Each structure stands twice: as structure tokens, then as C-alpha cells.
Chains A and B, each alone.
Chain A
């Protein structure tokens, strides 16, 4: 690829974009739900979580966004299943920190999977919001779930 594009559009990211995970509707009603948007570009996302026994069992994401937002949504769906809300929150916070740090490192004990690849997007400042959109939406859904009320829409400009 061209002029650094292979750093942005890594094969792992393109694969998530081509076959995004978490597109199937949840089998039952959602236990937590939030909408997110990026006002600077109009991208929109809906996230639904199913929870059981104190853990997230399944995630459903509908993303109307670019390849980076779509891949990030897919990675999120893959990674949050099986985590407790606290673990999912810790992962989201760690990713947000990594995207704003020079080395972009994510601790191994977080088991960050393909998220490590996505941190390469931090070298393209205009696209950082695209990568973060699903994760701030996750935080909004988890906040609402903890408080037992509907989630406030998440926004990259809030």
C-alpha cells in the first residue's frame, strides 16, 4: 500500500471491516443499550449488550461508519463477550489512554486481542475519533446499565 496507508488499513482491520463481528441481533432483549455518534462526520452507531451472571454474554453493534469505526465495533463485539462490566470498562479506558499516548501500549493482562492492532490508528489524528466511537458508546451503555436507566447518547464531541 501507499504512503503509510498500510499502517492505517492493516490486514486485521480490513478483515474486521469485511466481515464484522456482532452484526447478528441478540437472541433476547438487550440488558444495556446506547447510541453513539461522531458529529464531525455524521457516523452513527447502536450498541446492545446481553448480560448474565454478572458478565456480558453477547454484543450487537450496528455501525454506519467508516472502515476504522466498523473494525473497531467488530473488535469490541469480539472482546467484550465474557468480560464483567468492570473489565469491559477497564479495557475501554485503557484503549482510550493508549490512543492518546505516544507508544499506544496496552497491558497484556487486559487480553486486548486485535485492539493492539487498532492502536496504530493513533498516528492518524483525524481518525482517532473513528476508532474510539464504539468504545465511548460502550461506556455510555455500561453507565446506564449500572444506574438502571436509559443511556445518554454518546458523542465524540461531548
Chain B
């Protein structure tokens, strides 16, 4: 099944929600038209025969290195929290999640 390249506003709204991006109805409409143009560009690759081709995820096809499970980082909580939007008593503050 090939995906459709003509997007509906509902598709764009759903993707915006998945991407955690607030969007107004006007922005949804602009995004729909621009994304459709980009998907037309991308559509060219659907016709290519890739049967039997192994996907290439990494240019050098190297495998991930492993290391000993030992502590390598020192605790720098105060430094890291000094750049947080809101932190208090060593905790990052966010709106209440659990009632």
C-alpha cells in the first residue's frame, strides 16, 4: 500500500499533536499546503524497485560499541539545574500531573 500524498487538515492536526506542536487553524492550513508540496517531491522514490536491498542506517555499517557498566559521569545537578526554566530543591518544576 502506498501512502497518499494528498493530506487533509485532519492528518496535519493529528501529526501536530504527535509532534507536540500547538497550531492554529490557519497554521494547519498553511502546513497542509506546504507539506503536500514536499510529499510530492518525496513521491518520486516510491516507484524505485528496492526488492532485496538491505536498508542502510549507517554510512560505515559499524556496530554499536559497548563499554564496561561503570560510573563515568560525576554529579553536576546544581550546574545543570541552573539553566532550567524552573527548578527548586533539586527538582524540575512542571504543572501538576496527578490530582
Physical interaction between A and B: no
